[in-house]
């Protein structure tokens, strides 16, 4: 970008920071979530407490993992329109270190959540014995830890190159990040499968699905784009990045949120349809468990939350450009991810000698809000330590002139 172009830039705002009320609210949710978790443990409800912890940890981990994957996709596709909102996913990657450590604590819950972690259960079950080289606590800890470390390393490298470009300018950082992105996305396909298999799928170790890892990918894409849409939409409404972020950029982001609803519905239907059509007992058990014992209502609401309602609301063009319409739908999608994780985790657990019963997920929601509050504080801290706009990115001018 030439010196004349720099002179023509809009006024650059101060470094971004979370509004005071958002910081207070986030801190309050952390306190409430922690107290709720402690209360569940104090009542001897270890399984309820750990299941709530797993939902919250995976919920926020998905946001951090999405940020690295989305940055990689944007670099590889040359998405110039996204340059001025790049700081949002870059700040989201800051969660991968603390969030990864919190997720690793799930290993402490193995005996409460995972049937395959009990040696006597494995010894008496031929299928679990067959899967034991993969489903054991040692391999769980090593592979899960390696996967999370890999995400954190790539996230740090991508952000470091971007910040180096802020100081030096030029194309070198962009080219380096494109190479890193290509490598990461290949590794991400494998590591996301490992993480989703261990943390979620292995809750029901006798069940299997060839679509499960893809479904989890659609979940984090949908939730991640929705979170970015919430932050970007609020910035447009408040004028925080006036001149750098407008309805044209929001329109492209809104189209991604809209597309993610169809993507999720397609994959979710494919998993259900293939299992329903084949009608194999080992596969249908997953959906049968979610159709009885009080779970049917929770299971039936899920498609409405993740597809029907957001799809219909985002169908008009204006809904993708107007932050007052886009942000509420994005918030709904963030909540819908919690709901899906509850439907994934809750029915898979047993409470004492009885199968788990459907119940209002009050504990699970409060604990997840605590995780989300902590994620927001880490996100806001990272956002405030960087320039709000990558002014020396060669694609900045194209981004400012972007129309959609």
**Domain ranges (residues) in the chain:** 16-394
Sign of CA dihedral 300, 305, 307, 313: positive
Burial class (CB in 10 A: 0-12, 13-18, 19+), 199: buried
What is the predicted pLDDT for the residue at 355? 59
Angle at 253 between CA 251 and CA 254, to 5 degrees: 60
**Distance, CA of 27 to CA of 193 (rounded, Å):** 32
Tokens of 278: 């084949």
> pTM here?
0.95
| CB burial readout 93-132, b (16+ within 10 A) else e | bbbbbebbebbeebbebbebbbbbbeeeebeebeebeebb
Contacts of 31-37 with CB under 8 Å at 24 or more apart are 31/370, 32/366, 32/369, 32/370, 33/366, 33/367, 33/368, 33/369, 33/370, 33/371, 33/373, 34/370, 36/363, 36/366, 36/367, 36/370, 37/367, 37/370
What is the predicted pLDDT for the residue at 354? 52
Give every CB contact of residue 2 below 8 A, 6+ residues apart in sequence: none
pLDDT by residue, tens only, the chain of 404 residues:
544 445 467 887 777 889 999 999 999 999 999 999 999 999 988 999 999 999 999 999 999 999 999 999 999 999 999 999 999 999 999 999 999 999 999 999 888 899 999 999 999 999 999 999 999 999 999 999 999 999 999 999 999 999 999 999 899 999 999 999 999 999 999 999 999 999 999 999 989 888 999 999 999 999 999 999 999 999 999 988 999 999 999 999 999 999 999 999 999 999 999 999 999 988 898 998 898 889 999 999 999 999 999 999 999 999 999 999 999 999 999 999 999 999 999 998 864 445 578 899 999 999 999 999 999 999 999 999 888 999 999 999 999 999 98
**Distance, CA of 56 to CA of 33 (rounded, Å):** 10
Q: What is the DSSP letter of 384?
A: H
What is the predicted pLDDT for the residue at 4? 46
* Separation of first and last alpha carbons in the chain: 22
Residue with tokens 């084949």: 278
What is the predicted pLDDT for the residue at 338? 98
């Amino acid at each position: 970008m030439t010196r004349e172009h720099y002179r023509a830039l809009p006024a650059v705002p101060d470094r971004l920071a979370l509004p005071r009320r958002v910081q207070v609210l986030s801190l309050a949710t952390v306190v409430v979530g922690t107290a709720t978790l402690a209360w569940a443990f104090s009542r001897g409800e270890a399984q309820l407490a750990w299941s709530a912890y797993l939902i919250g940890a995976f919920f926020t981990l998905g946001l951090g993992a999405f940020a690295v994957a989305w940055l990689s996709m944007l670099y590889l596709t040359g998405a110039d329109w996204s340059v001025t909102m790049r700081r949002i996913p870059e700040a989201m990657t800051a969660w991968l270190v603390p969030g990864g450590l919190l997720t690793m604590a799930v290993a402490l819950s193995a005996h409460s959540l995972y049937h395959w972690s009990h040696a006597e259960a494995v010894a008496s079950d031929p299928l679990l014995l067959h899967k034991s080289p993969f489903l054991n606590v040692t391999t769980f800890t090593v592979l899960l830890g390696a996967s999370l470390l890999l995400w954190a390393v790539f996230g740090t490298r991508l952000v470091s190159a971007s910040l180096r470009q802020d100081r030096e300018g030029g194309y070198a950082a962009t080219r380096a990040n494109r190479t890193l992105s290509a490598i990461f996305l290949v590794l991400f396909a494998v590591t996301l499968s490992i993480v989703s298999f261990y943390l979620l799928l292995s809750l029901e170790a006798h069940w299997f699905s060839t679509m499960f890892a893809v479904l989890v990918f659609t979940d984090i894409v949908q939730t991640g784009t929705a979170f970015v849409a919430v932050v970007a939409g609020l910035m447009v409404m408040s004028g925080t990045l006036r001149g750098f972020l407008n309805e044209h950029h929001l329109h492209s982001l809104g189209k991604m949120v809209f597309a993610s609803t169809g993507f999720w519905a397609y994959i979710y239907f494919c998993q259900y349809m293939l299992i329903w059509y084949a009608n194999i007992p080992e596969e249908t058990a997953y959906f049968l468990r979610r159709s009885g014992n009080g779970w049917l209502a929770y299971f039936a609401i899920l498609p409405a939350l993740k597809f029907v309602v957001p799809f219909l609301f985002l169908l008009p063009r204006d809904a993708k450009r107007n932050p007052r319409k886009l942000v509420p739908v994005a918030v709904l999608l963030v909540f819908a991810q919690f709901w899906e994780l509850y439907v994934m985790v809750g029915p898979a657990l047993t409470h004492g000698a009885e199968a788990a019963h459907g119940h209002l997920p009050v504990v699970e929601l409060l604990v997840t809000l605590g995780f989300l509050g902590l994620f927001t504080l880490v996100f806001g801290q990272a956002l405030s330590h960087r320039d709000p706009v990558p002014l020396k990115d060669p694609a900045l001018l194209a981004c400012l002139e972007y129309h959609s």
